[in-house]
Amino acid sequence: MNTPAIKSPAFDQQGQLSDEQRVEAAMGSFVREYGRTAALHLESCVHCGLCAEACHFHVTTGDAKYTPILKLDPFRRAYFREAGPFAPVVRALNLVKAPTITDLQNWQELLYDSCTMCGRCTLACPMGIDIAELVKEARHGMFKAGLVPERLALLDRTARQWGSTATPGEDLPEILAEIAQAHGVAIPCDLAQADILVTAAPAELGEHTKALADAARILNRIGVKWTMHQEGFDATNIGFNNGDLELQEQLTRKLIDTAVKIGAKTVLLPECGHAYGAARWEAAKWYGKELPVRIIHMTEFLDELIADGRIRVKKVGETATFHDPCQIVRRGGLEAAARRVLAALGFDLIELQDHGVGGICCGGGGGVVSNQRATPLRQKVFALKQQQVDATGAKHFITSCGQCRITFEMGAKNATGAKPAESLLELVADHLEA
C-alpha cells in the first residue's frame, strides 16, 4: 500500500508552524474527516485506473502522478494508520508509512495545481468513490497545516478582511453606482427590504460588469423587488476552494443572514460554479436545519422566468455549442435547465464530444485559475477543450459560469483562433423581447 515518492516543482507555506506541527495539524484534520462515507470510499478503491482516463490533467500530460486517486495518498495513508478497522496492527507493523512533511509538500501540487474538483473522476469510478469530495476534504488538512499555494492564501486573507476577494463591502455602493451609470440600468443597493438578494462574483464587479448589469436589466423587467447589499454580496467562496472551513462558513452565513435581515426569500447566485457548490449544497450543514431562504443559480432563475412566461426572448437562429460547468452541471444537476434556455433562444445546439455530466472541465476550477504557477497545466487542458469546440464548427461558444469564462479568456490569449466564450445570461438579456 506504499506509494513511490512523487516530486513536485514547488510548494508554498504559511505561518510559523514547525514541520512536526504541520504534519500534526494535517493529520488531525484528516482524522476528523473520516466519517462513514469517507471510510467506505477509502476502503473501496480497486486500483483499476479508470479515474486516470477521466482526468483532464492526466489525459493531456500522460503523467501517472496526475491519476486522481493518487492525489489522495497522504489522506488515505492517514486513514489506514489512524481510523481504519486494522489501524492498531497497521501502526504496530508499520504496514503503511505515516505521511511526512515532504509528502505533504509534494502533494500540494496534486491537490491544488492539478485538481479542479470537477468530479469527472467520481463519475468514472466503478466503485462509486467520490474522489472530488475526498480531495476537498484533504484540502481541509492542507489548509490547517499552512500548505496552500500562496496566491490562494492571499485571496483567503483578503476575504477574511473584506468579506470578499473583490472589494470591501463599504465600497460596494459606489462600485454599483458606476456600473449602473456605465450600462444605463438601475441597480439597487442596501435596500432595507427586498424579495430577492442578488449576489455577484468578483469578475462582475470588474471585467465582467455587463453580466451584473444584464442581471439587473432582467430583474427590473419582471418588476420584482430586489437588492444587492454590502453586508453579503460576494458568492464566490474562496474558503470552499482552499479548504478553509471557517471562512467557508463565514462567507456563506453572510449571504443567508443578510437575506433574512432584509426579508428576502431568495438568494440569487451569479453565473459561478463554486458559488453554487458552496451555497446551494453545503449551506444547510452550517445551520443544521432547513434553510430560511431559497438559494438558486442564475441558470435556474432564467429557466424559470422563460418557462413561466415572465420574460420572452427573440430567436437567434444560429449554431452554438455549450460548455457544461462542472459544479453547476455534473455536481449540481442543471444540465437540462441550460439547454432549455438555449432552446428558447433558438440556437441550433451542436454538442461537444464530451458534454453534459461527462463534459471536460475548463481547467480553472477549484482555484486553479487563480493559482499562477498552475498556468502551464491549465493551458494544456484549455487546448483539449479548444479542440472539441473547434470540432463542432458552431458560431457561438456559450457557458453559464463566469469562472469558466475567465479561464477560457486566459487560454485564448495563448492560443490561435480560439473562439470567445459567451455568457448565457448576457445572451438572454441581449435578446429580450420588448
Q: Please write down the HEC assignment for all residues of 323-363.
A: ECCHHHHHCCCCHHHHHHHHHHCCCEECCCCCCHHHCCCCC
pLDDT for residue 413: 86
- The domain spans of the chain are 19-148, 166-304, 312-430
Q: Which residues of the chain have pLDDT under 50?
A: 1-4
Which residue, 6, 17, 35, is CA-closest to 104?
6
Residue 311: CB partners within 8 Å, gap ≥ 6?
Answer: 218, 221, 222, 305, 428, 432, 433
CA distances from 405 to 46, 232, 305 (A): 36, 24, 23
* Neighbouring-strand partners of residue 348: 319
Q: Give the angle subtended at the CA of 67 by the CAs of 65 and 70, to the nearest 5°.
A: 75
Contact criterion met (CB below 8 Å) for 363 and 399: no
Residue 217: CB partners within 8 Å, gap ≥ 6?
Answer: 183, 185, 429, 432
Pick the CATH number of 166-304 from 1.10.10, 1.20.1050, 2.40.128, 1.10.3470: 1.20.1050
**Rounded CA separation 368/366 (Å):** 6
Contact criterion met (CB below 8 Å) for 371 and 115: no
Tell me the CATH architecture of domain 312-430.
3-Layer(aba) Sandwich (3.40)
- DSSP one-letter code for 396: E
- Supply the mean pLDDT for the chain: 94
Task: Output the 3-class SS for 259-317.
Answer: HHHCCCCEEEECCCHHHHHHHHCCHHHHHCCCCCCEEEEHHHHHHHHHHCCCCCECCCC
CA distances from 382 to 35, 374, 411, 414 (A): 36, 12, 6, 10
pLDDT for residue 8: 56
Compute the radius of gyration of the chain from its Cα atoms. 22
Q: Could you tell me the three cell numbers for 187?
A: 441597480
Instruction: Give the pTM.
Output: 0.93
Q: Could you tell me the three cell numbers for 154?
A: 492571499
Which tens digits make up the pLDDT trace of 273-331? 989 999 998 888 887 788 999 999 999 999 999 999 999 999 999 999 999 999 999 99
* Neighbouring-strand partners of residue 321: 397
> What is the topology classification, in CATH, of domain 19-148?
Fumarate Reductase Iron-sulfur Protein; Chain B, domain 2 (1.10.1060)
pLDDT for residue 5: 52
